[in-house]
Structure formats: C-alpha cells, structure tokens
Amino acid sequence: MPGFELFGDKEREQVRDVLDSGVLMRYGFDGMRNGHWKAKELEAALAQRMQSKHAHLVSSGTAALTVALASAGIGAGDEVIMPTFTFVASFESILALGAIPVLVDVDDTLTLDPSAVEKAITNKTKVIMPVHMCGSMADLHALQQLCGKHGLLLLEDACQAIGGSYQGKPLGSVGDLGCFSFDYVKTITCGEGGAVITNNEAYYQNAHKYSDHGHDHIGNDRGAEQHPFLGYNFRISELNAAVGVAQLARLDEFISLQKRNYHILREALSIVPEVTFRRVPDGGEENYSFLSFFLPSEEMAQKAHKALGTNGVDACFYWYNNNWHYYRKWEHLTDKKALGKLPEEVIKGLPDYSKTDFSASDYWVGRTISCLIKLGWSEKEMKERAKKMVEVIQSST
C-alpha cells in the first residue's frame, strides 16, 4: 500500500481511452463512447477476482458502506455493530441512513472481538460490520455463527484489505456484502472510488439503483427510467474507473511486493523479545499492507514509536492517539456534533460513549505499532529499514 506508488503507463493508457471519447459518465451515451465502458469493465473484473456474483462501483469506500447497508434495507433506528478501531467512515455510513453505530471492543486481531459482539446484540441489531483494519481480519467464522444464530447480516469492510483471504475466499466475499475503497492511499486506487460486492441478486439490484437516484437502469433512454425507491448520487466516473481497470490488473503484483517486504520486516523484528505480533485468525491470510505488532506496555509502545520518528523511520503509526482511527478522538460522535438536527432515533439510540468501557480495546491498541508496507521499497531498502527499526526499538525498550 499504496497503489499510487506504482502509477504508470497502463493507468495513462486507460484514462486516455476515456478522454479520447469524451464520455466521462458511466451510463448512457452509447454512440459516442467508442465501445469503452470502464466502470462496467472494472465491475466484471472485480467480481471475477473476488469470486462474487456481483460488483458495483460507487464514488468512495464510504459510499460503498452506505450503499451496502441501504441495499439490505437498513434504516432509521437499526443497530449496526462496528469496532472501536476503524476509520470514521464506519459510523458516518451508518448515521447517513439514520441507523445507529454500536461500538464494540477489538481483541488481539485488532478487529471485532466475537465475544464482545455477542454481548452487544439487542433486538434492534441488524448487521455485524467487521473492519479488516491494516490488511487483516477478525475471526469471521465466529462472526458468521453469531449472524446465523441471531438472524443478522455480515458486512465486511475490506477497504484496507483487498487481496487478503479467509479460508480460501477473498476478503470481502465471505459476508453477505463486502466493501472496498479505491481512494488515493489504498492498495489499489481510482483516485476516488469504492465498490460493493455480493452474491445476493436483490442487494445488487438495490445497490445499483440506490447509488444512481433510484433509477432502474432498464432500457437505453435515461429519461424514461423508473424509480422504484428513493436513492442518491453515489456514482463513480469513467475517469476514476479507468484508473482502477489498470490498477486491479496489478493487484497480485502489488500483494506479492507487500508480502516480500512484510516478511523481511517481520523476520527482523522476531528477534526482539519484547515484540509480539497481531493475531491472524486460523485460515486467514493478510494482504500485507501493514505489519502490526505489540509492545509489553503502552509506555513502551509510545516511547518506541517516538524513537522511530526521531530516528527517521517514517510510516510507523501509533493508532491509540490517532484522530481518524480510534474511538478516543471521536468527540464529534460522542458529543453528537451534527450540522443540523440528527434523527430522533439516533439521538435516543446512540449509546453514551463517554461512559462506555473500552478498556479491552485500549489494552491492545495502546500497545500497537503498525508499519505501513510500501510497494516502492526495494528488498535492499527494506532490509536496511528493518535493521534500523530493530536497533531503535531495542534501544528504546
């Protein structure tokens, strides 16, 4: 991660096709487009790569989450279980529908703890939304069993984990619905973009309509389309999709570069007795976009992270103090700071997060350092970086 590091001729060629025809819109204009349908082409390639029946592109990963939830009929007052360690998009996408984000602890996988999830289930719960943060997954088997037992949907936020797998299935394809982001810093990028994948025909039909104002996409006359329900505009443009066509074709190349660099770093850090690694559930394979590890205490992790920075080792993250990714800094959610009035269901239903006990999350995330794995680092650079990291961590702990 990220795919923009390896942006080149293939991406330019795809974009040029779109610029040559001048059709920047994914629907219609059949006669003008010289046969180029970049969004459709990327959807077909993504569905195939993800072993899913359907893929539908939208304007962002956040839009993908909202569209996925909407396509399954999630609305006002429905509860969606999500982790304390994620990106703010998780609760934004839920709140956009008037539904309620229910935050739940993470464990040593740095994703949803199934036993904490079970405790949070109420008669309003509709969805469990694990987030495959930093390229790795929760115990999806345990979450699937909970979904079966309580009649819930499993929606995977695979925005940071494209290319990873679980029990042989691509991440994103395990749940009822899966979402990807192709924003500028993700493993593959469209500039901005996202996708919903599903095997469920009804959800797919809802998703493509909902993300284009509710248009039914029947027939060639855009103006004559019916609108079976209310929608919104979450469309992707052909320019963005064109970049994605080139990037998706390189996904396996990107993953193998990440994997090589990840293992160089992991092997080097393994000799440090204080370092333990994030748990990957049985049957899971990461996409190797980050290497995440624990130090024995919060103080040691903070000290090591600071020392890495002052010694010029960039791209290492301490999420515990991060504004975007950890619940401690989400006061806009805790204090319900909306521009307008929030729906009554949300005001009433939102738990008081200033009082919730997330000490289990604090225990894990407070001790975590994650190192971004760049595609552009050569084997030699990676070995030097790994050696430096070991030295810095050893002298700081």
Residue numbers of the site for ligand PLP (CB under 6 A)? 60-62, 86-87, 89, 131, 157, 159-160, 181, 183, 194
Report the distance separating Cα 43 and Cα 204, nearest Å.
12
When the beta carbons of 194 and 231 are compared against ligand PLP, the nearer one is: 194
When the beta carbons of 193 and 264 are compared against ligand PLP, the nearer one is: 193
- What is the smallest separation between the CB atom of 159 and ligand PLP, expressed in angstroms? 4
Helix axes 38-49, 9-21, angle to 10 degrees: 140
- What is the smallest separation between the CB atom of 290 and ligand PLP, expressed in angstroms? 11
Cis status of the peptide bond prior to 101, with omega within 30 of 0: no
- What is the smallest separation between the CB atom of 65 and ligand PLP, expressed in angstroms? 6
When the beta carbons of 32 and 185 are compared against ligand PLP, the nearer one is: 185
Report the distance separating Cα 15 and Cα 19, nearest Å.
6
Beta carbons of 43 and 55 less than 8 angstroms apart:
yes
When the beta carbons of 78 and 156 are compared against ligand PLP, the nearer one is: 156
66 CB contacts (<8 Å, ≥6 apart)?
93, 96, 97, 234
Residue with tokens 């025809």, as numbered in its chain: 21
Strand-pair partners of 125:
79
Structure tokens at 31: 């006669």
When the beta carbons of 61 and 101 are compared against ligand PLP, the nearer one is: 61
Tally of CA atoms within 13 A in the half-sphere of 374 that contains its CB: 16
When the beta carbons of 131 and 245 are compared against ligand PLP, the nearer one is: 131
- What is the smallest separation between the CB atom of 160 and ligand PLP, expressed in angstroms? 4
Q: What is the dihedral of CA 204, 208, 210, 215, to 10 degrees?
A: -130
Report the distance separating Cα 294 and Cα 302, nearest Å.
11
Beta carbons of 188 and 250 less than 8 angstroms apart:
yes
- What is the smallest separation between the CB atom of 341 and ligand PLP, expressed in angstroms? 25
Catalytic residue among 38, 53, 124, 186: 186
- What is the smallest separation between the CB atom of 229 and ligand PLP, expressed in angstroms? 23
Helix axes 9-21, 238-248, angle to 10 degrees: 150
When the beta carbons of 191 and 349 are compared against ligand PLP, the nearer one is: 191
Known catalytic membership, residue 119: no
- What is the smallest separation between the CB atom of 173 and ligand PLP, expressed in angstroms? 17
Report the distance separating Cα 212 and Cα 50, nearest Å.
23
Look at residue 183 and give its three-state secondary structure. Answer: strand
DSSP 101-127: EEEE-B-TTSSB-HHHHHHH--TTEEE
Residue number of the CB closest to ligand PLP reads: 61
Beta carbons of 95 and 78 less than 8 angstroms apart:
no
Report the distance separating Cα 163 and Cα 258, nearest Å.
11
Return the active site residues: 186
